[in-house]
Structure 1
Amino acid sequence: MMNSPVSSVGTITELFNAIINETCLSKKVTILRALRTALEQFPRQANVEDVQWDTATMCAFARSLLFSGVPIDSREDEERQYEQGDFPGVSETACEGMVCARLFLAVASPEQVGVSDFLTPLQVLCFAHGDPKLPWCSEASVSAASALAAQLESPSSARQLISLLKYIQPKLTKETWKKNPCYRRVFKVALFQLRHPDMSDALPIVLPPALLTRRRLHDAQPDTRTRLRSPHRGQRPPPSELDRHGYQEVLFDALKHLLYVKEPEVIVKLHTCIRNLLFSDYLDVLRTFRIKDEKRQRMAEDVYNELFTAAEMEQAFALRKAYSSQFCSYIECLGIDVVKYMDKTLRVLLEYVEVYDTEEQECRRNALLALAMLIKHTWLRIPSHFRKIVESLFKLAYDLDEHNRTVLWAEIVECLHLLRISCPDEYKTFKEDMSLLEGSDIPGIPKLRACVAKCEEKV
């Protein structure tokens, strides 16, 4: 005999309460399977609008699913790399719980299940089970999370994301964030789904955990430092918005501490973040109206100076490649203000041009691109530095030819072309000197003369 909706509601409510009160995961899985059966047998002819569920019990049920579907707080401030066997029973309980939640959504009215206290814990659970490689996840739990998320009301809407971030705040305080690897993951996933202007509204919520994560990057082992990320342009609030709320300097000071991390991937991502923070909405204003923001200029110059100091002292190829990849972008951002550091900049760039590089010649290529950008922005100062620049280019040509390298000649042509424009008199003398070496068997001279000839072809 088919159960009536009223008796089914009573049975399901009893199972809800049993799940809420059960703390043993294996026993909870058994009750969840019974609940799954009861939900599957719920009378389909019943009008969900006529079926009444107790809101407090529903919300407590959702919280219970979240509590048992993610790792509990660590007793110690653990930051080790977890493994699949570290959280027994969690993925199975989460999977059964999310299946039950999805079935329940089908038998309850949208008005009843649309309350934030019910939806938000379920959304946190879905975010937590987003990757089967995570130690508390499995293929089954990720599949169940995907199916449940598809039924939830706009889980990626700004309103729901902000509600979710507020909900997990207690797990990401100074005292608790190290004890909750799962909630750190949820925070990261939710944060990168926010877009401007909603990100601006969420800044008071997201900044404290974000700064704690930054601190973790600074103190962590090398393999955990590479989580720094620069959001897509559409995700981040413009620097002017951050500055208006007083957050720009806070973020800058937090990021600046990472300048001393010697990890190539962190170096690249960090400097991309800093440039986005300082310049993403500033360069157009600077170029169009010639209006300078002295505070941003000071911040940028501080980082520029640190970058070139670190690059000058570095000997490891991987780190030299990472540092040199940032030269050109910073010179473009600083523009004419780079003349304050002209001697240091040229010294570092020319040293990178001259010193032996790896097979790919990435450090030298980065230095040549930065040299071309420097000539563009400081062309009035270049005549006094012309001789040492062409001497470095000659040394580079000699080395490339002697080792049968076929790369970098296009970059050399571009630098010579810019020197020809900015220093016509000096370049004329240089060209005459090169003509005197016609027929020379010195390595690099024939190819350098070919580069000069290509410059003549440029308009």
Structure 2
Amino acid sequence: MELGRAPENPAPEDPGLPGVPSPVAPREAFSRLLHRLSRPEARRGKGRDSVFQDLGALIEAAECDGLFEGSGASTCELLGEVAKALGRLAAPPKEDGSRGDGRPAVAETAVDVGLLFLKLLRKIQTGKTSLGCSAWKTGLHHLAGPVYLFAVAHSVEQPWTSPRSQEVAREVLSLLLHVSDCGSVAGFLRGENEDEKGRLTAIMGLLKPNLAKESWKNNPATKHVFSWTLQQVTRPWLSQHLERMVPPSLLISDDYQTENKLLGIRCLHHIVLNVPAADLLQYNRAQVLYHAVFNHLYTPEHELIQAVLQCLLDLFPILEKGLQWKGDTTRPTTQCDEVLQLVLTHMEPEHRLLLRRTYARNLPAFVKRLGILSVRHLKRLERVIIGYLEVYDGPEEEARLKILETLKLLIQHTWPRIPCRLVVLLKALLKLICDVARDPNLTPEPVKTALLAEATNCLILLDHCSQGQVKGLLAKIPQSCEDRLVVSCIRNVQQAS
């Protein structure tokens, strides 16, 4: 007897047993299983195994029509609720700082849950090729969101995953994309075609209760699922979901833990890169993002500072679109000026190498961004440049190379103000050249060559903007200096046209 057709006088049967030849059996069985999944014993060994075993048997025994169709309370809706309950069972415990938090058990549960999801998805795949099953689309509609959330939460290495759970979760995600006729996660979220609605709205609806201020830390996987999902949605689709994406990103970035701050800043940076300026300027969103990110500049964490400065540098062009400058007035100071001023304040006394390298790495972009307006910060830039050129920065010399790049850009953009600083800058560059040339062991040859070349280029630029004064000041050095590398640099300056 087919599952989709009931007899006129059905005999009373236990609807909780899988494979019962009755159209209401799957629906009532799922209802009972959902009730069992909500009990505390479903999280423990035997109770959990029993529920999983019964659910697996029910899925295997049911035909496509019986699994996804039914009268009254929709079987598909119940199936969706069961999928959500399974996802909650596989969720990692709340982070409380304890060691014995049961995370290995979470990975084991995730494997079992993933195998159940694979069975359900294979049923949908069978229904797609079967002429007798027309309800697989409804089943996929209710299952896609919970299955996606589970797969993303467990598909990459995390404290609550194991190699086996990651493998199963990736297989679940791959099969979900296949049965959804999607070539990528991005297509699954936004829709593969222009006239096709993606599933991002439904997925964010499932995530929303867990992304509230009071609840987002209850499940450590939530922030990672949100962040990973956000990264898959790019321009121009992201602007349609801006109201759903900005608040959780701000919430995560405002946490006291550096890991969460970094994750939130990366989410905000992705929004800045993939949302049109007009949408970000609307309702003052860009200013809100700026102030949220700017506050992290006071954190002494080099990875966070790097993420913050990259985000701000991409946000400046958007913020400055609304500025109007009339040629007869002084140009107004911008957020770029404000950030550079704070960065230079932090750079001067900074002694930690990682932070020094991070600041120096981003300094050229600020000078390039401001151009001739860098003269507003020229005195402080001069002090930072001279101070950083004096300090050895390790074998790679990243900080000093970036400072030389900054100096080169500064000379090019603010050359009318450079001649009065000629002697100070010339002494700093010559000292650097001598220190590098006399360093026999610490600096690798390629790095040493790059440092000498950059310093020589800066000397040539100084000579150009001072109308040949540098050549005159360096004229007697080759006669008295015995160091081959130093003399070579000086001659390169003298021979430059």
Question: Secondary structure of 1:246's partner?
Answer: helix
Deviation track 1:422-441 (CA, whole Å, cap 9, x = no partner) reads 222xxx23212322122323
Q: 1:10-409 alignment to 2 at 5 Å?
A: 10-23=24-37, 24-25=42-43, 26-42=46-62, 52-53=69-70, 56-70=74-88, 78=96, 84-85=103-104, 87=106, 90-106=109-125, 107=127, 109-113=135-139, 115=141, 117-135=142-160, 138-150=165-177, 151-152=179-180, 154=182, 155-157=188-190, 159-216=198-255, 219-220=256-257, 226-227=262-263, 228-229=265-266, 236-279=274-317, 298-404=334-440, 405=443, 406=445, 407=448, 408-409=451-452
8 Å CA contact retained: 2:93, 2:219:
no
TM superposition shift of 1:456:
5.6
Stretch deviating more after TM superposition (64-73 or 339-348): 64-73
8 Å CA contact retained: 1:382, 1:422:
yes
Assess, with a 3 A threshold, how the Cα gap between structure 1 residues 66 and 18 changes in structure 2: closer, same or farther: same
Assess, with a 3 A threshold, how the Cα gap between structure 1 residues 49 and 378 changes in structure 2: closer, same or farther: farther
Question: Secondary structure of 1:192's partner?
Answer: helix
Assess, with a 3 A threshold, how the Cα gap between structure 1 residues 245 and 377 changes in structure 2: closer, same or farther: same
Deviation track 1:395-447 (CA, whole Å, cap 9, x = no partner) reads 111211221354101111221222233222xxx2321232212232365xx53
AA partner of residue 18 (structure 1): R
8 Å CA contact retained: 2:34, 2:85:
no
Assess, with a 3 A threshold, how the Cα gap between structure 1 residues 76 and 134 changes in structure 2: closer, same or farther: closer
Report the Cα distance in structure 2 between the residues aligned to 1:344 and 1:38, rounded to whole angstroms.
73
Give 2:15's aligned residue.
Answer: none
Assess, with a 3 A threshold, how the Cα gap between structure 1 residues 29 and 143 changes in structure 2: closer, same or farther: farther
Report the Cα distance in structure 2 between the residues aligned to 1:350 and 1:212, rounded to whole angstroms.
40
Report the Cα distance in structure 2 between the residues aligned to 1:265 and 1:306, rounded to whole angstroms.
17
Assess, with a 3 A threshold, how the Cα gap between structure 1 residues 123 and 146 changes in structure 2: closer, same or farther: closer
8 Å CA contact retained: 2:190, 2:237:
no
Q: Which runs of 5+ in 2 are unaligned?
A: 6-20, 128-132, 183-187, 192-197
Stretch deviating more after TM superposition (96-105 or 268-277): 96-105
AA partner of residue 454 (structure 2): E
TM superposition shift of 1:271:
0.5
Count of aligned pairs:
441
TM superposition shift of 1:143:
3.8
AA partner of residue 95 (structure 1): G
8 Å CA contact retained: 1:74, 1:180:
yes
Assess, with a 3 A threshold, how the Cα gap between structure 1 residues 193 and 332 changes in structure 2: closer, same or farther: same
TM superposition shift of 1:360:
1.9
Give 1:436's aligned residue.
Answer: 476
Question: Secondary structure of 1:196's partner?
Answer: coil
TM superposition shift of 1:95:
1.5
Deviation track 1:137-175 (CA, whole Å, cap 9, x = no partner) reads 613541442244222364332631233123211111111
Report the Cα distance in structure 2 between the residues aligned to 1:179 and 1:422, rounded to whole angstroms.
61
8 Å CA contact retained: 2:452, 2:489:
yes
Question: Secondary structure of 1:390's partner?
Answer: helix
Give 2:464's aligned residue.
Answer: 421
Report the Cα distance in structure 2 between the residues aligned to 1:73 and 1:363, rounded to whole angstroms.
43
Assess, with a 3 A threshold, how the Cα gap between structure 1 residues 50 and 393 changes in structure 2: closer, same or farther: closer
TM superposition shift of 1:84:
3.0
8 Å CA contact retained: 2:68, 2:75:
no
Assess, with a 3 A threshold, how the Cα gap between structure 1 residues 391 and 173 changes in structure 2: closer, same or farther: same
TM superposition shift of 1:133:
3.4
Report the Cα distance in structure 1 between the residues aligned to 2:67 and 2:29, rounded to whole angstroms.
21
Report the Cα distance in structure 2 between the residues aligned to 1:325 and 1:422, rounded to whole angstroms.
26
Q: Percent of counterpart pairs with the same letter?
A: 21
RMSD of aligned residue pairs (Cα, Å): 3.5
Deviation track 1:6-56 (CA, whole Å, cap 9, x = no partner) reads 43754433432232111214545434444434444555xx8x699734573
Report the Cα distance in structure 1 between the residues aligned to 2:170 and 2:50, rounded to whole angstroms.
20
TM-score by length of 2: 0.78
